[in-house]
Amino acid sequence: MLVRIGRKFKRCHGDVRMLQRDPVEPGRVSPKRDVPDAITRPDYVATGSVTTSTGLQVHDEESLDRMRIACRVAAEVLLRTGAAVAPGVTTEELDVIAHETYVEFGAYPSTLGYGGRRDYPKSVCTSVNGVVCHGIPDDRPLKEGDIVNVDVTAFIEGMHGDTSATFCVGEVDEATSGLVATTREATLRGIAAVKPGEPLRRIAEVIEPFAAGRGYGVVREYGGHGIGETFHAAPHVNHCVLPEDTLPFQVGMTFTVEPMLTTGVATYRQGDDGWTEHLVDSMPSAQFEHTVVVTPQGAEILTVNADGRTAAGTLDELTASAGSTN
């Protein structure tokens, strides 16, 4: 179970030098894929700018129903794409699977054409080993022992649903599997800390010391975000503790929890593509992500598919893993 794997990592594999990887060299990126005209685009694809509110995304019953649809699609895309991860498979091939799944469900890939210094050219992000985030799918084949984070966002019914998971490529060593398991558990622990009226920093107050206790760092600059009609909205969800994060959780509020854990230094540099963030020491990092909604009881994970499955873990799994260690 999750807790047991993480504790075993800390006790038996404290020397993180064994995790050292070669730097990820970018491959060739193919042209953007087409999306059928009948599928509705987000505003920024059509107009080049975000026109929806970037404030808190708080839902009534009708808008939450639409949000659930987007999150179910995102979860299904992640499950299908993750199932294809294997040695020799390229991240380009993963992007094809994801793209075709979005289209099958009538959803638009939120990342495709998302603006910045450069429009993002693909339907998912694929971040391998020492890439912290925003890796662009290309023709580089995955290798035995790699890890790859697949980050999915679906736009449908006027809403975005966002989720990610880190997948092991073939057999990985115990140190690497410990990193992945700890990151997954840290994400779920952060979600479980959400309660109406409590301050936003409760998420970080759980995640940061838990990660540190296992010997990992937490990326400070990147965090979760509000999400709904707008892809990236308020609040910024820190996974490192900041006393000023006093915004209270509000029932109906939707946002992501998505910590990135590192095994070496947390310093990174952006690649020439304007997106990919490489850790300078090339040590592996992992990330998991869910979109959640605040309920009167706590938080509900929205990014599960129609069968209730997810590649990023559930709160029931967290409870079960804790119980197994008692």
Residue 10: the pLDDT is 43
Measure the CA–CA gap between 313 and 326, rounded to whole angstroms.
20
Asked if 297 and 168 touch (Cβ cutoff 8 Å), the reply is no
Residue 186: the pLDDT is 98
Measure the CA–CA gap between 123 and 104, rounded to whole angstroms.
14
Residue 319: the pLDDT is 83
Pseudo-torsion of CA 231, 236, 237, 238, nearest 10°?
A: 140
Q: What pLDDT tens digit does each residue of the chain (326 aa) get?
A: 222 233 333 433 445 667 888 889 999 999 999 999 999 999 999 888 999 999 999 999 999 999 999 999 999 999 999 999 999 999 999 999 999 999 999 999 999 999 865 799 999 999 999 999 999 999 999 999 999 999 999 999 999 999 999 999 999 999 999 999 999 999 999 999 999 999 999 999 999 999 999 999 999 999 999 999 999 999 999 999 999 999 999 999 999 999 999 998 878 899 999 999 999 999 999 999 999 999 999 999 999 999 999 999 999 988 887 665 54
Tell me the chain's radius of gyration from C-alpha atoms.
18
Residue 323: the pLDDT is 62
Residue 47: the pLDDT is 87
Point out which residues pair with 237 in neighbouring strands: 224
Residue 37: the pLDDT is 97
Task: Please classify residue 126 by burial: count the beta carbons closer than 10 Å to its beta carbon, then call 0-12 exposed, 13-18 middle and 19+ buried.
Answer: buried
Please give the domain boundaries of the chain with CATH numbers for all domains. 2-9+61-323 (3.90.230.10)
Instruction: Encode the chain in three state secondary structure.
Output: CHHHHHHHHHHHCCCHHHHCCCCCCCCCCCCCCCCCCCCCCCHHHHHCCCCCCCCCCECCHHHHHHHHHHHHHHHHHHHHHHHCCCCCCEHHHHHHHHHHHHHHCCCEECCCCCCCCCCCCCCCEEEECCEEECCCCCCCECCCCCEEEEEEEEEECCEEEEEEEEEECCCCCHHHHHHHHHHHHHHHHHHHCCCCCCECCHHHHHHHHHHHHCCCEECCCCCEEECCCCCCEEEEECCCCCCCCCCECCCCEEEEECCEEECCCCCEEECCCCCCEEECCCCCEEECEEEEEECCCCEEECCCCCCCCCCCCCHHHHHHHHHCCC
Length of the chain: 326
Q: How many CB atoms lie within 10 A of CB 223?
A: 23
Name the token pair of 230.
């707008």
